[in-house]
Structures are given as C-alpha cells and as structure tokens.
Amino acid sequence: MRIWRSELPYKITDEAYLNLVIHIAISVHRMLTGHFIQEFAQKDTVGGYAEFQVAKDILSSCLEMEAEVVPDGEAAYVTMHLRGAKSDDYEAHDFSGNEHVLSVTLAKQLIGRVENRIHRKFEEGALLKGLTAHLRPALRRLNEKMRIHNPLVTSIKEDYPELFDIVKEEFSAVYLKEAVPEEEIGYLVLHFGAALLTLEEESNFSGIVVCASGIGTSRMLVTRLRQAIPKLKQLETVSLFELPHKIKSPHDVVVSTIDLGEVDFDYFLVSPMLSEREISQIELYLHGKSSTYHHYDDLEKEQQLTMLETIHRLENKKTLYRN
C-alpha cells in the first residue's frame, strides 16, 4: 500500500488511506477464509477501470499470488474503494464531465439552502471548492453503496448539533436517490463549520458607549474595549442626551457606565475599568450574534440578556454601596 500510495499521480488524505487499508484487510481476510466475493454487478464497467488492475495487484501482493488468481469480485470491491478515495488536490479531469457538473450543482444548491436556514452568506469560493472536491468521490461511494469510516461523526454531532441536522436535511433535499449515511454528512458539516469559523474571524462589530463621567473616562473605556475585544472595530461615545438619537443607527452592542433604566433595547451596564467578567459577557453576546449554527429562540435570548443585565445592576449597586 505504501508503494502504491507513493506512485499515485495525486495525494490522498490519511483518513482515506486508512479507510482503504481497512477494506483491503477485510478483502484479504475473506479470501484467506474462503468466503470471498466471486460475482459483482456492473462487471463490464468496473472491470474497465484502471483501478481494477491496481486492485488485483495490491491483493496479489498481500497474498503472494498471481494477479490473475485474485477473484474478480474482490478486485471490484477494492476498486470501488480506490475510486472513492478522497484526495486533497484531486483534479476534476479524473472524473467524468457529468460527475463534475453534478458535484458543483449539488454543492451550490446545498450552500444556498444552508444559507437560507442559518440566515448567513458564505464566502462561496473556498466553501464551493471544498464541497465539490468532497462530493465527487462521495457521490461515487453513495452510488456504489459504500460506507466510509468517519471517527469524528459523534464529536461533530455533539459540537454542531443544529448545523448537523440542517446539513443532513438540506442535503437529503437536493440528493434524492437514497438515504445518506451520517458518516458522509459529518464530513460535509466540517466544511460548513470551517466556513462559519472563517466568517466569525472576519466579523467586525460596532458599538455605542454611553458614559457620563467625562471625556477621560469614556476614552479609557473605549480603549479597554478595543484592546480586549478586537472585533469591536467601530465604537462611538455618546452622552445620555445624545443616546435617543444615536440608538437608531445600526450597531451590534450598547455598553454603558450608567443605569439607563427601562429602555426598549439591550445593553451592558459596566464599570469604567471594565472587568474581565464584563468582557467575557460582551464577547459571549457578540459570539451569539455571529454563531449561526447555535440559535437561541427569542424567549431564551431575552432571558439570557435579562439575567446579564440583572447581574450588572447588582454588581454596580454593590460598588456604589461600598464607596
């Protein structure tokens, strides 16, 4: 297998390589125990693939026998796994035109449907390229009813539960042939998860800072916010008098050093020095605005903000009482 891998004109990933080793070992075991596959469907098609002879050579080397003696059924079994091996830089010309067009079409449809579900717009270039490269061999596996090993699928479902369900539902909506194994869905979710992380890294937020203690205090608070939360690129300092007008402009977060009382918008009540706890709470809030794979419904969001606001007010009153 190492020799064969080193002679490939393209690279395959380590998981694809390990997956191939497992299936070749299964095939060798069947042959050693006399329970090998003799006949196979699509004999004319599979037998014409270049990988068919490669499969025979690999199996014959493992069992130290002539390639002609290797059962065609076992060679066909290994052939389909060879053809289904995913490479990092697998070129489109290794696939038929129809396969490439179908992969691109499904990838674009899937991206569009997921965007509609999570209400975010992806940078399509990298995501489309990655999904297309994965779908080309994945569609072959699905057509041949081959299962792929995905040791990460349980972790993926735990880390991205909502995104996993969305991708699973939307891919089933665009790929109508048969049920898709969760192992395949898991790999698709990884592509979307990576794209979402990229969006979060590139996200810039704006904020309004309400401060009544003077210019020096407001500047110190703005500087502290920018240092602690680099994503807050645009911060505007306003007075309590200016706030009713400024609050109408687009913004992501409002931070105030004074209690604003009963208002119809969410805000964070903080100390002028801005504690680590306050920074963490603001970061959590901004993360919630950018993380589309984990949604809160309106009630949950309202309860969370009410709790944070209550904590801030209590801490602020404790400080005033001490002073």
Checking if the pLDDT of 232 tops 70, the result is: yes
Instruction: Tell me, yes or no, whether 149 and 219 share the same domain.
Output: no
**pLDDT at 42 > cutoff 60:** yes
Q: What mean pLDDT do residues 149-171 have?
A: 88
Cα(146)–Cα(139) distance, rounded to whole angstroms?
10
Which pLDDT value is given to residue 112? 93
pTM exceeds 0.75 for this model: no
Please determine, for residue 116, whether its predicted confidence score (pLDDT) is greater than 50: yes
207 and 307 share one domain: yes
Q: Tens of pLDDT along 61-98?
A: 998 888 888 888 888 888 877 776 645 444 444 445 57
Does 199 score more than 60 pLDDT? yes
More confident residue, 202 or 287: 287
pLDDT in tens, 253-281: 999 988 888 888 889 999 888 888 899 99
Region 121-126 average pLDDT: 78
**What band does 203 get if pLDDT is binned at 50, 70 and 90?**
low
Contact between residue 194 and residue 201 where contact means Cβ atoms under 8 Å apart: no
Instruction: Indicate the pLDDT class of residue 215, thresholds 50, 70 and 90.
Output: low
Last residue of a domain, one of 83, 111, 139: 83
The residues with which 238 forms a beta bridge, in sequence order, are 210
**Cα–Cα nearest to 258, from 200, 307, 214, 302:** 214
Please tell me which residue, 174 or 217, carries the higher pLDDT value. 174
Give me the mean pLDDT over the 33-58 stretch.
79
> Which of 201, 226, 241 delimits the end of a domain?
201
Q: How many structural domains is the chain composed of?
A: 3
Same domain, 195 and 265: no
Instruction: Give the residue from 6, 17, 24, 35 showing the smallest Cα distance to 63.
Output: 24
Domain identity same for 315 and 210: yes
Residues 69 and 97 in one domain: no
Same domain, 318 and 275: yes
- For residue 302, pLDDT over 50 is answered with no
Q: Is the pLDDT of residue 165 over 90?
A: yes
Is 216 found in the same domain as 168?
A: no
Q: How would residue 315 be classed by pLDDT, with cut points 50, 70 and 90?
A: very low
Give the residues across from 268 on adjacent strands. 255
Tell me which residue range forms the domain holding 238: 203-322
What CATH number should be reported for the domain holding residue 126?
1.10.1790.10
pLDDT of residue 44: 66
User: Quick check: 148 pLDDT over 90?
Assistant: no
Q: Are residues 100 and 19 in the same domain?
A: no
What are the Cα distances from residue 268, in Å, to 114, 301, 307, 311, 316? 32, 14, 11, 10, 11
- CA 35 – CA 17 distance, rounded (Å): 25
